[in-house]
């Protein structure tokens, strides 16, 4: 029984097929709905260049919309002897419509089909990552504002250094997310270009209208050069993975801080009880496992761009089956990151801070610079003031004034959280999700 789109005379060996298909059936389930959307745009374009009749377009459109609904309802599977999602959808169309189903593949290849599926998938997933990121950003700014007057020690070399505050600590991670969002925006821009029509990587002798499919799928523009469109496979994933990795790096650092500050030896914050776990032997334990796993999961996500680099490195231009392997680690990464963001947002909003940290005299010396600056502002040369305070400390005569009156931009007394929010919002405004939502609704006949 011939079950491959490309099978003609020689039957495919079962072990070889298992080897080449690998986990592709499972991975392609992530892409199924986007494969159908890509096909809806493709057939509309085929009709416009007379490769389908109006009647055929109508039948195919109805059947594809039906398949889309089945995917959404969870009633779609890639059958055991079917190679991938592209073959499955074509087979379903042929079963339902007969020969008309076989006409849909004119002017395209699975190479540009998977390219366009990936772009559409990434675009939607980035939208949802940005939503989750925004929730974390808001939680951080809120906590920063709430605790802006609560001082804590700042460290360099993990040695008590200078006064810091919970306003600064939470706010720093909020501002880090502004930069992470900037890179996500760049990744989104790279993704938002249409590769469809590049076919196997060299275009087609049919007079395809690529501008039309670009508009139908709500892309901002297209990958013009068909060879470059194919070169985008792996490159787009690497760029996007790097953008996800930036977010992961921010969150991993926050997670490490939180574990450390939660330890009895610091005692700066208290994690909500439901986010800690007990020990099987030590009855007193409330371990920060959630943040520890967050740290590990984030570190794993940061390996992703490197994995993609290694899979694609040293490949010349043109399609290779190597590229299929990227899907296994890349496609699930979005859900992983979103789960992390949900957990961290919940923890950040519920964490309690210790408002009495400075009662402990071990932190007294962090006010040494405040005293030096006070003397200097009264007219003593800075170097003399520095020396006087140093000698006082050595002689055990230093009594700290436990206040920090910092006024410049971004300091304890002037966090500029409003400016940080402005930067975040202006970056957020540069994402245009409506265009593609509208395009999808039209393709699906909902508008």
Tell the burial category of 149 from Cβ atoms under 10 Å away from its Cβ (0-12, 13-18, 19+): exposed
Q: Does 329 bind ligand ARG (CB under 6 A)?
A: no
| Cross-strand partners of 287 | 277
Other beta carbons less than 10 A from residue 188's beta carbon:
24
Interface pick for ligand ARG out of 151, 240, 323, 331 (rule CB under 6 A): 323
Tell me, residue by residue from 273 to 312, as one string, x for binding to ligand ARG by CB under 6 A and - for no binding.
----------------------------------------
In the complex with ligand ARG, the residue whose CB is nearer, 133 or 326, is: 326
Only one of the segments 36-44, 317-325, 336-344, 399-407 lies at the binding site for ligand ARG (rule: CB under 6 A); that segment is 317-325
First to last CA, the chain: 42
Q: Does 319 bind ligand ARG (CB under 6 A)?
A: yes
Query: Which of 197, 243, 193, 196 shows the shortest CA–CA distance to 219?
Result: 193
Helix H, strand E, coil C: the string for 43-105 is HHHHHHCCCCCHHHHHHHHHHHHHHHHHHHCCCCCCCCCCCCHHHHHHHHHHHHHHHHHHHCC
Q: Does 217 bind ligand ARG (CB under 6 A)?
A: no
Q: Does 8 bind ligand ARG (CB under 6 A)?
A: no
In the complex with ligand ARG, the residue whose CB is nearer, 110 or 238, is: 110
Q: Does 111 bind ligand ARG (CB under 6 A)?
A: yes
Q: Does 84 bind ligand ARG (CB under 6 A)?
A: yes
Only one of the segments 222-230, 302-310, 320-328, 357-365 lies at the binding site for ligand ARG (rule: CB under 6 A); that segment is 320-328
Between strands 193-194 and 221-222, the pairing is: parallel
Smallest distance, ligand ARG to C-beta of residue 91, A: 15
Rounded to 5 degrees, φ, ψ at 152 are -150, 165
What does the DSSP assignment read for 336-392? HHHHHHHHHHHHHHH-EE-TTGGGSGGGGGGGHHHHHHHHHHTT--HHHHHHHHHHH
The sign one gets for the Cα dihedral 72, 329, 340, 120 is negative
Tell me, residue by residue from 351 to 390, as one string, x for binding to ligand ARG by CB under 6 A and - for no binding.
----------------------------------------
The residues in 399-418 that bind ligand ARG, with binding defined as CB under 6 A, are none
For residues 349-372, one letter each, b for 16 or more C-beta atoms within 10 angstroms of the residue's C-beta and e for the rest, the string is eebebbeebbeeeebebbbbbbbb
Q: Decide: helix, strand or coil at residue 414.
A: strand
In the complex with ligand ARG, the residue whose CB is nearer, 233 or 295, is: 233
Q: Does 112 bind ligand ARG (CB under 6 A)?
A: no
Smallest distance, ligand ARG to C-beta of residue 110, A: 4
Cα distances (angstroms) measured from residue 224 to each of 110, 175, 201, 397: 18, 36, 12, 73
Q: Does 118 bind ligand ARG (CB under 6 A)?
A: no
The residue number with the shortest CB distance to ligand ARG is 324
Smallest distance, ligand ARG to C-beta of residue 319, A: 6
Smallest distance, ligand ARG to C-beta of residue 174, A: 38
Interface pick for ligand ARG out of 24, 47, 90, 175 (rule CB under 6 A): 24
Q: Does 120 bind ligand ARG (CB under 6 A)?
A: no
Interface pick for ligand ARG out of 89, 100, 114, 152 (rule CB under 6 A): 114
Measured CA to CA, the distance from residue 144 to residue 165 in angstroms comes to 9
In the complex with ligand ARG, the residue whose CB is nearer, 41 or 331, is: 331
Only one of the segments 189-197, 210-218, 241-249, 318-326 lies at the binding site for ligand ARG (rule: CB under 6 A); that segment is 318-326
* Element (DSSP H or E) covering residue 114: helix 110-146
Only one of the segments 108-116, 134-142, 300-308, 374-382 lies at the binding site for ligand ARG (rule: CB under 6 A); that segment is 108-116
N residues, the chain = 447
Measured CA to CA, the distance from residue 338 to residue 130 in angstroms comes to 9
DSSP for residue 11? P
Residues lying near ligand ARG in the complex (CB under 6 A): 24, 84, 110-111, 114, 319, 321, 323-324
């Amino acid at each position: 029984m011939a079950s491959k789109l490309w099978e003609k005379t020689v039957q495919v060996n079962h072990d070889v097929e298992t080897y080449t298909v690998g986990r592709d059936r499972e991975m392609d389930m992530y892409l199924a709905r986007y494969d159908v959307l890509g096909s809806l745009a493709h057939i509309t374009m085929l009709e416009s260049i007379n490769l389908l009749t109006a009647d055929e377009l109508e039948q195919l459109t109805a059947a594809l919309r039906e398949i889309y609904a089945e995917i959404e309802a969870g009633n779609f599977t890639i059958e055991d002897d079917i190679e991938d999602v592209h073959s499955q959808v074509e087979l379903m169309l042929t079963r339902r419509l007969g020969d008309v189903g076989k006409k849909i593949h004119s002017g395209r290849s699975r190479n540009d089909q998977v390219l366009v599926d990936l772009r559409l998938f990434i675009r939607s997933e980035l939208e949802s990552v940005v939503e989750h990121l925004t929730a974390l950003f808001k939680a951080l700014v809120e906590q920063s504002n709430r605790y802006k007057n609560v001082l804590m020690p700042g460290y360099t070399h993990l040695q008590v250094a200078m006064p810091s505050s919970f306003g600064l600590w939470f706010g720093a991670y909020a501002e880090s997310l502004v930069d992470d969002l900037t890179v996500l925006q760049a990744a989104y821009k790279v993704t938002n270009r249409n590769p469809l029509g590049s076919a196997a990587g060299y275009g087609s002798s049919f007079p395809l209208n690529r501008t039309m499919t670009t508009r139908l799928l709500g892309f901002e523009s297209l990958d013009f050069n068909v060879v470059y469109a194919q070169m985008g496979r792996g490159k787009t994933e690497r760029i996007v993975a790097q953008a996800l990795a930036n977010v992961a790096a921010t969150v991993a650092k926050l997670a490490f801080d939180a574990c450390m500050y939660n330890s009895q030896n610091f005692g700066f914050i208290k994690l909500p009880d439901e986010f800690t776990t007990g020990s099987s032997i030590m009855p007193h334990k409330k371990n920060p496992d959630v943040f520890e796993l967050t740290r590990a999961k984030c570190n794993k996500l940061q390996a992703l761009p490197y994995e993609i680099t290694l899979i694609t490195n040293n490949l010349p231009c043109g399609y290779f089956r190597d590229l299929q392997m990227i899907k296994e680690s890349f496609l699930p990464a979005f859900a992983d990151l979103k789960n992390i963001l949900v957990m961290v947002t919940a923890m950040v909003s519920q964490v309690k801070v210790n408002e009495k940290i400075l009662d402990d005299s071990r932190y007294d010396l962090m006010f040494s610079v405040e005293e030096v600056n006070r003397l200097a502002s009264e007219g003593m040369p800075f170097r003399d003031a520095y020396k006087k305070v140093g000698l006082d400390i050595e002689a055990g005569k230093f009594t700290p004034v436990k206040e920090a009156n910092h006024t410049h931009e971004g300091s304890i007394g002037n966090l500029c959280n409003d400016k940080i929010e402005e930067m975040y919002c202006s970056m957020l405004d540069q994402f245009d999700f409506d265009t593609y939502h509208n395009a999808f609704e039209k393709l699906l006949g909902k508008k």
